[in-house]
Chain A
Amino acid sequence: MRTLRRAETSLPEWVLQRIREASEQETDPIAKSHLQFILENVLIAKARGLPLCQDTGLPIFRVEMGRDLVLDFNLQEAVAEGVIIATEEIPLRPNAVDPLTRQNSGDNTGPGMPDIILELVEGRGLCITAFPKGAGSENMSLVGMLNPADDPFDFILRAVAERAANACPPLFLGIGLGGTFDLAARLAKHALFNLPGSSPMEMDLLKRINSLGIGPMGLGGDTTALGLKIEQACCHTASLPVAINFQCWAHRCASEVIF
């Protein structure tokens, strides 16, 4: 609940720093005005304890759990309880609906929600990261099953060119290269957890994306992406899966060490 409140009402300092730098360097007047207003929005949200964005997202959590830890409670239920309390108290917009009837559960929980992504680590600790994810950017995400002869970076550039405007740029991108249909998507989500990347390959792709001129909110400018991370896995010799998980400028996440 506390972690979710922090994630919804403030941004990690490094994310803010990226937006500040982009705002200073931006040469397009409309783009610059957008970036300045984004920074103003962050100040207002923090000062008043308000969610940065009305799309308070779906509740996604990364749980890093020590191999030696034994839990005497149901983790899924405990996190769901926190989400229900957070929805009432922060408050959050109820976003979770049945995919067919579109009936809203009213508390952001239901089958599959919250989505808990569990990772085993050494030791006996437990760390939870709240990662509320809005639909604007998630809706633009995709998995491509490429031909091994295709250029994956060309695919990524084309996808960003076509989809970025609706995903609330300037963006962060989680990219999964290789694996299978679903592993590529998991890698892409995991890459968002581990932002930002700084390898030559990642910096080169970032530069190519920013040279497209899409700009904040797709209205043109030098700032299209603020950061990206690529995670890789082996794939079948006949496959080349590529997943892109779009994230808006509001890369909301907050962690808490439970034990």
Chain B
Amino acid sequence: MRIGGDLLTEYRLNTPLSHEDVQKLVAGDVVYLSGPVYTARDKAHALIRSKGCPISLQGAALYHCGPLIHKTRVLSAGPTTSGRMARYTEEILGLGVRAIIGKGGLPGGPFRGRAVYLAYPGGCGAAAAQQLKARDVHLKELGMAESLWEFEAKAFGPLIVAIDSHGKDLYQDVRASVQSRLRS
């Protein structure tokens, strides 16, 4: 993707992701994902903690998203604030998830050596809906926004690698620079 004069490194990857896929990604890269992507937010995370996950998340891309869906048509499906799910990060990554997609970021520690955090532009639900098809739904009793939806993604992006598996966290870098500007 070329923005003005700057070229951002771009990857097109298929899910489920391999360890090698994750390792080659560096904070600041742009990714487009194709293949299965699973949604989960507040209630699905709580239920996975208490009762286990109804599907395998090995290598999965997990999307913090509460979509707007009419029957099986995805109408709008941008990211929700990941911070609310921060308390579950360690165990979700422990289930084999290799990419968490959302907005606003998560503490970077749990990602080191095994996973990446990908930022989708917040509020861009209509654009995301053009890249996602609903294939199946789990935990349907939780309602439209909170169910675990299985999407088939086609070039889902631009996803910015905001936290990589090597310890770099763009949100943390920005927070540190904002704090130093506040003091000056």
A168's partner among B1, B103, B144, B179 (CB-CB below 8 A) is B103
CB contacts under 8 Å to A, within B145-184, are 145, 158, 160, 162, 170-171, 173-175, 177-179, 181-182
Cross-chain contact B104 with A218 (CB below 8 angstroms): yes
Contacts of B81 in A (CB 8 A): 135-136, 139, 166
Flag whether B137 is at the interface (Cβ < 8 A).
Answer: no
CB contacts under 8 Å to B, within A48-104, are 48, 50-56, 91-95, 102, 104
Flag whether A36 is at the interface (Cβ < 8 A).
Answer: yes
Flag whether B51 is at the interface (Cβ < 8 A).
Answer: no
Flag whether B36 is at the interface (Cβ < 8 A).
Answer: no
Contacts of A213 in B (CB 8 A): 174, 177-178, 181
Cross-chain contact B145 with A93 (CB below 8 angstroms): yes
Binds B, one of A39-47, A119-127, A180-188, A189-197: A39-47
Cross-chain contact A91 with B171 (CB below 8 angstroms): no
Q: What CA separation (Å) do A23 and B14 show in the bound complex? A: 30
Binds A, one of B15-23, B62-70, B108-116: B62-70
Residues of chain A at the chain B interface (Cβ within 8 Å): 27, 29-30, 32-34, 36-38, 40-41, 44-45, 48, 50-56, 91-95, 102, 104, 134-136, 139, 157-158, 161, 165-166, 168, 211-220, 248-250
Residues of chain B at the chain A interface (Cβ within 8 Å): 1, 3-4, 6, 8, 28, 30, 43, 65-68, 70, 75-78, 80-81, 83, 103-105, 119, 121-130, 143-145, 158, 160, 162, 170-171, 173-175, 177-179, 181-182
